[in-house]
């Protein structure tokens, strides 16, 4: 070897060592109570005078409605719920009355409520067993539209609610399982989508004047159509489609001529697009490699609006005021939970309205997530979001977790995740996997797990172990798996069908019996049921396959410690799913811990429950996974 080669090798070695040294940083460890003292917020609605913004916050321990002045100041709590989650919807168009949605204990049977300015509450959709979903205000501001399944539990009819008399009127009887996409500003047109499979759909235009329904999307093969918004003059329909492409792009359909033209495309899925009230601005959201990218177009000048550039995260959603002078936006990143801002288009200045991170937590002690990729068993490239604790010393081997998102068809994304940061802060490496079948990486990738669930997608998660081990920071004998909903199923599948792959499993409300789950789909999912059957299997015709991929029928294979968390009121994954797998594992004498929250549904909305559950998860992992490093 030449002196030059030796010198180059030495430099590379020193640089590598320096990088390892710079990665290490002592951090303060925080309790779950400190992490949960970080406030979660979402949503925004301008008051009619554009001086206040309505949003939802869990500062009290459960989501309630709050307002905050546009000029900044302390938020004011508006609703006082202590039991049920409240989702703030909107101020009224011309006064400070408000609409919000709420269910009972997480049962997902939402009602729409009116809050008078004086504080009185009225249930506007009081049918006890009926579900109501807010669709938005009419352009004339005299009514709002909503969906309800009170006539037929399987389908959402469309109603218009007059806000003077609060008398609802059915304006479309939905007997075909259509999902509403948009309503034109003149109220003449409804745009619908009908799911055929999870990768194939049809789009329809209903003309209320002519009482005619027109099929807008004749096509061959698997193509998704998704109506977004009507043009401000109600003459065109903007919609997303992936026809002839791996990714969804934006088109415009001219109602008079029946012709369509492409408006915008990207190298990733366009997620959504809509206009401000008078059409001065058009907003586009793009799902770019696990991050949200927002674009705002000035339609009068035909140019992009320059949005604020903030370090350490991304603008994730925007809402433009009625006057089109102001815009709210949310900003978050791995170390930064959602914060609400307001932006002035004229002055190009912005104001931060909230500060949600617990001041006891130093953001520098948290972790910036990285998007990584690794090869699976068949050389397919798998994207993932990677978190490495700063306080892993050079040469030290840490325990690790493979995290699996919900779905099927969800996505691991960059953003603040309290449980993930809590686990990383306590010494766990985490890789959040976008296994095949995940959203955001093209329709071919999305369809790769159809009728192969608990098989090829599970193998993608197992292969994540090789990436973890290759970093040199992870102890190969101390790798566990954790996930919720479909991700919880993947945990159970891993312990059942790949029993030696992971040292422990943590299942949050995961499916153990696909036969029962698919037979007990909530009635309001009827329009999506056949599409779900096409992807997952039909319990009437695919019984053998569904039994083969259901952990409960193969529980005898489980040999590693298991923890299960479940909401008693979950309408999607019934409590019996967790009851049975826990009882089966107990009978084997395998260590198993089980926590049930009597006042939760599909996910845990109350802080006190998240504190209890997340702390229990850490204690379980410290006991069964962290232990002593393997030699």
Ranges assigned E (strand) in 70-131: 76-77, 86-91, 98-102, 111-115, 121-123
DSSP states along 247-272: S-EEEEEETTT--EEEEE--SSEEEE
Task: Report residue 491 as tokens.
Answer: 């945990």
| Measured CA distances, 41 to 59, 62, 199 (Å) | 8, 11, 32
pLDDT tens across 360-393, in order? 999 999 999 999 999 999 999 999 999 999 999 9
pLDDT of residue 17: 34
**Identical fold between 43-175 and 367-626:** no
| Opening angle at CA 193, ends 520 and 258, nearest 5 | 165
Residue 111 has pLDDT above 70, yes or no: yes
Q: Is residue 119 left, alpha or beta, with left meaning phi > 0 and alpha meaning psi from -120 to 50?
A: left
Supply the pLDDT for residue 128: 92
Helix (H), strand (E) at residue 400 = strand 398-404
What is the predicted pLDDT for the residue at 584? 97
Count of positions (residues) in the chain: 631
Q: What's domain 367-626's architecture?
A: 3-Layer(aba) Sandwich (3.40)
Tokens representing residue 89 in the block: 């919807």
CB proximity list for 87: less than 8 A, separation 6 or greater = 43, 56, 63, 100, 101, 102, 110
Q: Which two tokens stand for residue 123?
A: 């249930």
Is the pLDDT confidence value at 7 over 50? no
Q: Are 449 and 461 in contact (CB under 8 A)?
A: no
pLDDT tens across 440-450, in order? 999 999 999 99
User: What's the whole-number mean pLDDT along residues 397-407?
Assistant: 96
- CA–CA distance, 431 with 385 (Å, rounded to integer): 6
Q: What pLDDT does residue 523 have?
A: 86
| Mean pLDDT to the nearest integer, 186-191 | 98
CA dihedral in degrees (503, 505, 511, 512; nearest 10)? 50
Q: What is the pLDDT of residue 629?
A: 56
C-alpha 110/C-alpha 102 separation (Å) is 5
Q: What is the pLDDT of residue 628?
A: 59
Tokens 């690794």, residue located: 374
Q: State residue 529's pLDDT score.
A: 83
Report pLDDT digits (tens) over 348-365.
Answer: 999 999 999 999 999 999
| Maximum separation of any 2 CA atoms in the chain, in Å | 90
pTM for this predicted structure: 0.93
Q: What is the helix (H) or strand (E) element at residue 419, kind and residue range?
A: helix 418-425
Query: Beta partners for 594?
Result: 564
pLDDT of residue 9: 34
The answer to which of 13-22, 181-190, 612-621 has the lowest mean pLDDT is 13-22
Span 43-175: which CATH code?
2.120.10.30
> What would the pLDDT profile of 497-540 be if each residue is shown by its tens digit?
999 999 999 999 999 999 999 999 888 888 788 888 888 999 99
| 281 pLDDT more than 90 | yes
pLDDT reading at 45 higher than 80: yes
Domain boundaries of the chain, sorted by first residue: 43-175, 367-626
Buried b (16+ CB within 10 A) or exposed e, 296-324: bbeeeeeeebebeebeebbbbbbbbbeee
411 pLDDT more than 70: yes
């Amino acid at each position: 070897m030449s002196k030059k080669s030796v010198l180059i090798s030495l430099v590379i070695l020193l640089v590598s060592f320096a990088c390892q040294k710079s990665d290490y940083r002592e951090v303060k460890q925080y309790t779950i109570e400190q992490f949960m003292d970080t406030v979660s917020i979402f949503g925004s609605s301008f008051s009619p005078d554009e001086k206040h913004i309505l949003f939802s916050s869990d500062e009290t321990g459960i989501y309630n409605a709050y307002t905050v002045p546009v000029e900044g100041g302390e938020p004011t709590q508006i609703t006082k719920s202590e039991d049920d989650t409240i989702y703030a919807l909107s101020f009224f168009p011309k006064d400070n009355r408000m609409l919000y949605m709420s269910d009972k204990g997480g049962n997902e049977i939402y009602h729409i409520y009116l809050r008078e300015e004086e504080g009185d509450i009225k249930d506007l959709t009081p049918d006890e067993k009926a579900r109501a979903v807010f669709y938005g205000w009419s352009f004339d501001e005299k009514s709002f539209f909503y969906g309800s399944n009170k006539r037929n539990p399987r389908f959402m009819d469309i109603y218009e609610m007059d806000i003077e008399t609060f008398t609802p009127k059915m304006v479309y009887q939905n007997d075909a399982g259509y999902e509403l996409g948009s309503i034109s500003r003149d109220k003449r047109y409804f745009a619908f989508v009908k799911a055929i499979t999870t990768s194939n759909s049809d789009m329809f235009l209903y003309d209320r004047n002519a009482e005619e329904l027109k099929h807008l999307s004749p096509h061959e093969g698997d193509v998704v159509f998704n109506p977004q918004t009507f043009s401000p003059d109600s003459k065109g329909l903007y919609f997303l489609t992936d026809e002839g492409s791996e990714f969804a792009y934006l088109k415009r359909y001219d109602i008079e001529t029946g012709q369509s033209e492409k408006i915008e495309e990207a190298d990733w899925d366009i997620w959504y697009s809509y206009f401000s009230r008078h059409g001065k601005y058009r907003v586009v959201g793009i799902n770019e490699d696990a991050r949200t990218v927002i674009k705002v177009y000035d339609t009068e000048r035909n140019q992009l609006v320059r949005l604020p550039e903030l370090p350490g995260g991304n603008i994730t959603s925007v809402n433009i005021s009625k006057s089109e002078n102001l815009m709210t936006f949310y900003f978050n990143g791995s170390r930064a939970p959602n914060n609400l801002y307001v932006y002035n288009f004229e002055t190009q200045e912005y104001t931060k309205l909230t500060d949600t991170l617990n001041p006891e937590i130093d953001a520098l002690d948290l972790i910036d997530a990285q998007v990584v990729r690794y090869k699976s068993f068949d050389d397919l490239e798998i994207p993932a979001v990677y978190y490495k604790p700063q306080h892993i010393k050079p040469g030290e081997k840490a325990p690790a977790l493979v995290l699996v998102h919900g779905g099927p068809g969800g996505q691991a994304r960059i953003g603040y995740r309290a449980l993930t940061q809590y686990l990383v802060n306590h010494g766990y490496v985490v890789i959040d996997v976008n296994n095949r079948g995940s959203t955001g990486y093209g329709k071919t990738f999305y369809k790769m797990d159809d009728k192969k669930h608990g098989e090829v997608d599970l193998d993608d998660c197992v292969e994540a172990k090789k990436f973890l081990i290759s970093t040199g920071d992870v102890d190969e004998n101390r790798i566990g798996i954790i996930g919720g909903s479909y991700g919880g199923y993947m945990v159970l599948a891993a312990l059942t069908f790949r029993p030696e792959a992971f040292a422990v499993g943590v299942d949050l409300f995961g499916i153990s019996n696909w036969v029962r789950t698919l037979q007990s789909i909530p009635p309001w999912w009827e329009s999506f049921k056949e599409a779900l059957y096409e992807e997952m299997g039909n319990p009437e015709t695919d019984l053998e396959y569904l039994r083969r991929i259901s952990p409960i029928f193969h529980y005898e294979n489980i040999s590693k410690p298991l923890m299960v968390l479940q909401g008693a009121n979950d309408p999607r994954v019934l409590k019996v799913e967790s009851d049975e797998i826990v009882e089966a594992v107990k009978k084997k004498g395998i260590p198993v811990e089980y926590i049930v929250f009597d006042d939760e549904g599909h996910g845990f909305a109350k802080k006190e429950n998240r504190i209890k559950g997340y702390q229990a998860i850490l204690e379980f992992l410290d006991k069964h996974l962290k232990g002593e490093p393997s030699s």
